[in-house]
Chains A and B, each alone.
Chain A
Amino acid sequence: MSTEQILSSDGLPLEVSLRKAERKNKLKALFLVGPLFLFLLITYVFPIGDMLFRSVDDRMITSKLPNTFAALEKWDGKELPDEAIYEAFYKDFYPLAISKESGKLYQRLNYEKSGFSSGLKKTNRKIKKFEKSNYKEQFMETHKIWRNVDYWVALKNTAPKWSYVKYLKGVDLKLDPERNIIQQDEDRRIHKILWLRTLKVAFWVTIFCFMLAYPISYLLATLPMKYSNLLMICVLLPFWTSLLVRTSSWMVLLQQQGPINDLIVWLGLAANDNRPELMYNVIGTFVAMTQILLPFMVLPLYSVMKTISPSLMRAGKSLGGTPFVAFRKIYFPLTVPGIGAGSLLVFILAIGYYITPALVGGASGSLISNTIAYHMKSSLDWSFAAALGTMLLVGVLTIYWIYNKLVGIDNIKLG
């Protein structure tokens, strides 16, 4: 049995011709996505990768003190090192002290063990007058850190090129001098509380948003168009308004002499001279974030509810269900996709919130983002900021992945 090949007009078999055309279309589509893809790759994806890299990169000390680390390799860490190691350190440190390029080194070593910074600074001043022999003695005279074996152990511990200590620090763990993972000192365990608080705030804000958004979305979806369009403005106007404007309006409302406190006093719930603190604590963060993120819950819920035919509820009722039974058994299950979409979106946005907690949250209402910003701008411990950022990013991307699986990212609704 012979099959006759169908040929296209240019003489190629139809199958080949079709495949060629498909490939051309595919390339065309890729070519269109290409510019944005490359742009984001260079300015966004690589930088985020670079941040990841920065959080584990620990080569700075090793690169600044190469001779010292070469000499320290054989040192057993039990007693003070011998003259050769002090000499190697002199060889490394002298040029740094002259060129004044050692600031970062002090800072980095001080994270490892406090006391390093002041010791090195003093050594920096004195080292220019060192004689060219008997380094050990001269170092030990200069500052007490050189008489203490613990500092040498700490220095040797920074030898590996990559380190995960910043991640340990992010969950209140640290390494002891023998490189075992132990709990951070009691008074320094602050990050676990922060992570838990961030999760707690994001969780409750999501719940509050859901509870407030569900009734109004239902109303918006069931009212006739001309009324619902009008009411929709109440949802969309805050959505389009500057975040800082909305946060400042909450600062006006929640301040001690503000309208809400006036109302509380007027109702007799609190004395005038004992007005409750509504701002600069976690209450402020909750209230403001709920209002600010509410539209992100309403919009997906509304768009799902809009597609549910009202006749389903009527059918339920006509079959003998009370409105509540009909709602619970028919309407509510149909809105679950909208609830999922809205909740995940609000949760993702809440978990990384920065501006609002920084302005109305005070110390007890600040979240993990605020700590990242603090380490970026004030303490300048950039690798720790990068480590915290990476941990947060992993969390967010996990939820994003779930969102993508459940809702599909192209189903995000905007206004």
Chain B
Amino acid sequence: MSLPTYTPWNYRVWHYTYITICALVFFFLIAPLFIILPLSFNAEQYIHFSKGMLALDPDAFSLRWYEDMIYGTKNPWGLAAKNSIIIAFFATIGSTILGTVAALGLSSRHMPYKAAFMALLISPMIVPLIISGTAIFFFMAKVGLAATHTGIILAHIILGTPFVVITVTATLTGFDHSVTRAAASLGSNPVNTFMKITLPLILPGVISGALFAFVTSFDEVVVVLFLAGLENTTIPIQMWVGLREQLSPTIMAVATCLIIMSTLILVTAELLRRRSERLRGINR
């Protein structure tokens, strides 16, 4: 944003103040994430920058906390990572299928009480997690699924579907329904039409919804706190437990891994969004 040369001085001052404010806000948003990276390479056991680190002395940095994360004795992270991945994987599949199918129905112009259904299907995203957690816990205890993977997966399907519904309905708003009618007139049955015509077109939306569902499950701690037994511990639970005791460099190492993961997911989601907009012919 360069200013034209005729700009009066007071607007100039205002302009640069504004840019500074924006820079500070962006800094506030992003800087806290980056504080974690160097600390995870700390050679010492403390969570602050040692003199050696500030002087960029190579001896002050080490990978010992990553080693501890992977090989440490009595280490909970291995089991937690395994559980997290299993739970998130099945929860994602469940939410994506249920959410996509529901979104197809919701985007139909013939759907009755559309707003009411939509409000209900989105509600797990709006209702505070502590309430969802409480309610789901009572339910799972009643049907004997508390402290099981199945129970947690079901809970995460509940929490993940709203994201899939939102992203897929958004993708379907620009969808040209004449292509499915064309397919039908050429003798294709509905399932075939969906697999060959509709799905490839809405795939970017489906995948970004699935990413949301995956992240929701992978990151979810409140409901799991209620539902999980010792066997079902997940990465967020271990982080929660660790953070309540004390900040340890191993947690910083785990956090760094999670930041790298979220960066990769962000990049994928952004690429998908752009592709989807291109496919739907939305130019911004």
Query: Hey, which bits of chain A sit against chain B, CB under 8 A?
Result: 22, 25-26, 28-37, 39-40, 43-48, 50-51, 54, 212-213, 215-216, 219, 222-223, 225, 231, 233-238, 240-253, 255, 257-259, 291, 294-295, 306, 323, 348, 351-355, 359, 369, 372-373, 376-377, 382, 385-386, 389, 392-393, 396-397, 400, 404, 408-410, 412, 414-415
Q: What's the nearest-Cβ distance from chain A to residue B32, in Å?
A: 4
Judging by beta carbons under 8 Å apart, are A247 and B243 in contact?
yes
Q: What's the nearest-Cβ distance from chain A to residue B272, in Å?
A: 10
Given A37-B117, A323-B11: A48 in contact with B98 (beta carbons within 8 A):
no
Judging by beta carbons under 8 Å apart, are B121 and A216 in contact?
no
29 contacts between A and B (CB under 8 A): A26-B110, A33-B102, A37-B102, A37-B121, A40-B120, A44-B135, A215-B21, A231-B26, A234-B29, A236-B270, A241-B259, A241-B262, A242-B236, A242-B239, A244-B219, A244-B243, A245-B33, A245-B259, A250-B32, A291-B28, A323-B11, A352-B128, A354-B130, A359-B240, A372-B130, A377-B226, A410-B115, A414-B166, A414-B212
Q: Count how many chain B residues have C-beta atoms less than 8 Å from C-beta atoms of the other chain.
A: 89
Judging by beta carbons under 8 Å apart, are B36 and A248 in contact?
yes
Judging by beta carbons under 8 Å apart, are A245 and B36 in contact?
yes
Chain A residues near B215 (CB, 8 Å)? Answer: 240
Q: What's the nearest-Cβ distance from chain B to residue A135, in Å?
A: 38
Judging by beta carbons under 8 Å apart, are B128 and A37 in contact?
no
Given A28-B110, A29-B111, A369-B130: A410 in contact with B158 (beta carbons within 8 A):
no
Q: What's the nearest-Cβ distance from chain B to residue A219, in Å?
A: 5
Chain B residues near A31 (CB, 8 Å)? Answer: 105
Chain A residues near B239 (CB, 8 Å)? Answer: 242, 244-245, 248
Chain A residues near B102 (CB, 8 Å)? Answer: 32-33, 35-37
Given A40-B120, A369-B128: A414 in contact with B167 (beta carbons within 8 A):
yes
Chain B residues near A26 (CB, 8 Å)? Answer: 110-112
Complex Cα spacing A53 to B21, Å? 50
Given A323-B11, A392-B131: A257 in contact with B48 (beta carbons within 8 A):
yes
> Does B18 belong to the interface (CB within 8 Å)?
yes
Complex Cα spacing A177 to B132, Å? 35
Partner of A237, one of B33, B128, B222: B33
Given A33-B105, A354-B128: A243 in contact with B284 (beta carbons within 8 A):
no
Q: Which residue of A lies closest to B104 (CB)?
A: A32
Judging by beta carbons under 8 Å apart, are B30 and A238 in contact?
yes
Q: Please name the 8 residue pairs, one residue from A and one from B, whose CB atoms are nearest each other, closest first.
A: A352-B128, A32-B105, A47-B139, A33-B105, A25-B110, A29-B108, A36-B102, A47-B135
Judging by beta carbons under 8 Å apart, are A215 and B110 in contact?
no
Query: Hey, which bits of chain B sit against chain A, CB under 8 A?
Result: 1, 11, 18, 21-22, 25-26, 28-30, 32-33, 35-36, 39, 47-49, 98-99, 101-102, 104-106, 108, 110-112, 115, 117-124, 126-132, 134-139, 154-155, 157-158, 161, 163, 165-167, 169, 208, 212, 215, 218-219, 221-222, 225-226, 236, 239-240, 243-244, 247, 251-252, 255, 258-259, 262-263, 265-266, 269-270, 273, 284
Complex Cα spacing A415 to B225, Å? 28
Complex Cα spacing A355 to B136, Å? 18
Judging by beta carbons under 8 Å apart, are A29 and B131 in contact?
no
Q: Which residue of A lies closest to B220 (CB)?
A: A243
Judging by beta carbons under 8 Å apart, are B251 and A248 in contact?
yes
Judging by beta carbons under 8 Å apart, are A396 and B127 in contact?
yes
Chain A residues near B270 (CB, 8 Å)? Answer: 236, 415
Judging by beta carbons under 8 Å apart, are A46 and B139 in contact?
yes
Q: What's the nearest-Cβ distance from chain B to residue A114, in Å?
A: 26
Q: Which residue of B lies closest to A50 (CB)?
A: B138
Judging by beta carbons under 8 Å apart, are A294 and B29 in contact?
yes
Judging by beta carbons under 8 Å apart, are B124 and A237 in contact?
no
Chain A residues near B120 (CB, 8 Å)? Answer: 37, 40, 45
Judging by beta carbons under 8 Å apart, are A36 and B161 in contact?
yes
Chain B residues near A22 (CB, 8 Å)? Answer: 110
Chain A residues near B101 (CB, 8 Å)? Answer: 32-33, 35-36
Complex Cα spacing A222 to B1, Å? 9
Q: What's the nearest-Cβ distance from chain A to residue B231, in Å?
A: 18
Chain B residues near A244 (CB, 8 Å)? Answer: 219, 221, 236, 239-240, 243, 255
Judging by beta carbons under 8 Å apart, are B29 and A223 in contact?
no
Q: What's the nearest-Cβ distance from chain A to residue B168, in Å?
A: 11
Complex Cα spacing A46 to B215, Å? 26
Chain A residues near B127 (CB, 8 Å)? Answer: 48, 352, 393, 396-397
Complex Cα spacing A199 to B239, Å? 28
Judging by beta carbons under 8 Å apart, are A51 and B247 in contact?
no
Q: What's the nearest-Cβ distance from chain B to residue A392, in Å?
A: 6
Chain B residues near A259 (CB, 8 Å)? Answer: 35, 48-49
Chain B residues near A236 (CB, 8 Å)? Answer: 266, 270
Complex Cα spacing A410 to B166, Å? 7
Chain A residues near B22 (CB, 8 Å)? Answer: 215-216, 219
Name 5 extra pairs, CB < 8 A, besides A35-B102, A355-B221.
A219-B18, A253-B32, A294-B29, A323-B11, A355-B240
Q: What's the nearest-Cβ distance from chain B to residue A326, in Å?
A: 13
